[in-house]
């Protein structure tokens, strides 16, 4: 595991410049973003990224863009890089492109998007549109969304990898009912990444998929880390247990640390439309990670709620 320096003072200063103050406890020790290694390349990736489903599906008005710019800049200022999007998320790719066109730096970002259609020609058109909308000449990760026409799109993705237009390939799903199919396609197509749902409330990926990804040397992105926000309802009104304060300052950090402490997980992509939640989520990318005994305690505690 590698680590890059996270300058907390810079982050707070950036937050203040953007008109926000961190309203959650940031870790006071060990202010470094944890990175994990992409098995296929050895490149390191910061463990906290940003999902864009719904939260980036907005009009490109000044006000909406300014808020997303703040969220993305808080991510990158703290050493994060990965933005996950899809043509299925309506205006999200365009919003990312509009941010880049109007000053958000492209260079630190690891742009992950998806192809979600049937047929080779439609896939090519959709992937080209993602390049155009996001105003980028290279996409870091192109994933087949929900295993839709995998074989066809993986051929195109491989060709574009050879042409250096796409850096990594991936397959995604978000539902436990599709884990068997995702595992089978991971074995057949050997993508660089899979993306799958995993959280304290949805632990099915532990059974086969995560060990399989480790064995095959496939990087893992985790979606739905809060079950689209439902996990917060489960703990509403409950204080964080005392024993969790060594590694988490909030429920959000508790949920995310459970995920990133799994050895197969490379990066988690919580979605947010709030700068304060982005800062909170980034706090999970620093400090100590729960060990197996602590993970067991977290599981038992969550099950008892
Ligand atoms: N098939 C696929 O490939 C697939 C499927 C599902 C998801 N995904 C990807 O995974 C990403 C994440 O999944 P998701 O968007 O379904 O849901 P999620 O990340 O599990 O949850 C997002 C919800 O949590 C809230 N939230 C975020 N941080 C918080 C914090 N610190 N404290 C309290 N609330 C917080 C957000 O509200 P606020 O806006 O108020 O912060 C939002 O309502 C997606 O955006 C997408 O990029 C991919």
Residue 266 backbone phi and psi in degrees, to 5: -95, -40
Structure confidence by residue, pLDDT tens digits, 148-207? 999 999 999 999 999 999 999 999 999 999 999 999 999 999 999 999 999 999 999 999
Residue 20's pLDDT band (boundaries 50, 70, 90)?
Answer: very low
Q: How far is the CA of 141 from the centre of ligand 1 (A)?
A: 19
Q: Which of 249, 250, 247 is nearest to 290 (CA)?
A: 247
Alpha-carbon distances of 74 from 81, 141, 211, 221, rounded to whole Å: 10, 22, 32, 20
Extended beta strands in 85-122, E state: 110-115
| Calpha distance 80→87 (Å, rounded) | 23
**Block residue for tokens 């295993």:** 147
CB-side exposure of 192: number of CA atoms within 13 Å?
Answer: 18
| Calpha distance 287→34 (Å, rounded) | 8
Residue 11's pLDDT band (boundaries 50, 70, 90)?
Answer: low
Pocket test for ligand 1, best of 24, 232, 271, 273 (most atoms within 8 A of CB): 271
Q: What pLDDT is stored for residue 1 in this prediction?
A: 38
Residue of minimum CA distance from atom 10 in ligand 1? 223
| Calpha distance 214→154 (Å, rounded) | 21
| Calpha distance 2→160 (Å, rounded) | 29
Model confidence, pTM? 0.93
Q: How far is the CA of 223 from the centre of ligand 1 (A)?
A: 8
* pLDDT of 271 strictly over 80: yes
Structure confidence by residue, pLDDT tens digits, 114-124? 999 999 999 99
Structure confidence by residue, pLDDT tens digits, 56-114? 999 999 999 999 999 999 999 999 999 999 999 999 999 999 999 999 999 999 999 99
Q: What pLDDT is stored for residue 32 in this prediction?
A: 80
Q: What pLDDT is stored for residue 116 in this prediction?
A: 98
| Calpha distance 289→192 (Å, rounded) | 25
Residue of minimum CA distance from atom 31 in ligand 1? 277
Residue of minimum CA distance from atom 8 in ligand 1? 223
Ligand 1 atom having least distance to the Cα of 250:
31
Q: What pLDDT is stored for residue 155 in this prediction?
A: 98
Q: How far is the CA of 162 from the centre of ligand 1 (A)?
A: 33
* Terminal alpha carbon distance of the chain: 33
More confident residue, 9 or 139: 139
Residue 17's pLDDT band (boundaries 50, 70, 90)?
Answer: low
Q: How far is the CA of 192 from the centre of ligand 1 (A)?
A: 23
Q: How far is the CA of 97 from the centre of ligand 1 (A)?
A: 20
Ligand 1 atom having least distance to the Cα of 280:
31
List the structure tokens of 181: 């199919």
Chain Cα centroid distance, residue 130:
18
Q: What percent of the chain has pLDDT over 90?
A: 90
Domain boundaries, the chain: 3-304
The crossing angle, in degrees rounded to 10, of helices 251-260 and 275-283 is 50
Matching CATH number, 3-304, of 3.20.20.100, 3.40.720.10, 3.40.640.10, 3.40.50.2300: 3.20.20.100
DSSP states of 238-277? PPPPGGGTTT-SSHHHHHHHHHHTSTT--EE--B-S-HHH
Residue of minimum CA distance from atom 22 in ligand 1? 228
């Amino acid at each position: 595991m590698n680590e890059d320096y996270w300058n907390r003072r810079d982050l707070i200063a950036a937050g203040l410049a953007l008109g926000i103050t961190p309203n959650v406890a940031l870790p006071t020790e060990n202010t470094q973003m944890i990175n994990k290694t992409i098995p296929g390349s050895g490149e390191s990736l910061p463990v906290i990224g940003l999902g864009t489903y719904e939260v980036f599906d907005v009009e490109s008005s000044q006000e909406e863009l300014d808020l997303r710019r703040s969220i993305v800049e808080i991510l990158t200022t703290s050493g994060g890089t990965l933005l996950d999007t899809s043509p299925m998320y309506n205006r999200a790719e365009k919003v990312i492109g509009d941010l880049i066109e109007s000053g958000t730096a492209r260079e630190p970002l690891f742009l992950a998007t998806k192809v979600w259609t049937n047929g080779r020609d439609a896939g090519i058109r959709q992937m080209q549109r993602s390049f155009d909308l996001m105003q980028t000449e290279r996409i870091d990760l192109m994933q087949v969304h929900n295993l839709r026409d995998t074989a066809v799109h993986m051929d195109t993705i491989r060709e574009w990898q050879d042409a250096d237009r796409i850096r990594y390939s991936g397959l995604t799903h978000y539902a436990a009912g599709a884990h068997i199919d995702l595992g089978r396609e991971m074995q057949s197509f050997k993508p660089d990444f899979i993306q799958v749902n995993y959280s304290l409330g949805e632990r099915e990926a532990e059974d086969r998929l995560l060990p399989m990804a480790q064995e095959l040397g496939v990087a893992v992105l985790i979606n739905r880390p809060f079950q689209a926000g439902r996990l917060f309802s489960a703990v509403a009104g409950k204080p964080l247990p005392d024993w969790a304060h060594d590694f988490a300052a909030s429920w959000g950090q508790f949920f995310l640390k459970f995920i990133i402490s799994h050895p197969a997980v490379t990066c988690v992509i919580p979605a947010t439309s709030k700068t304060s939640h982005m800062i909170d989520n980034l706090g999970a990318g620093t400090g100590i990670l729960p060990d197996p005994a602590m993970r067991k305690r977290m599981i038992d505690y969550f099950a008892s709620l």
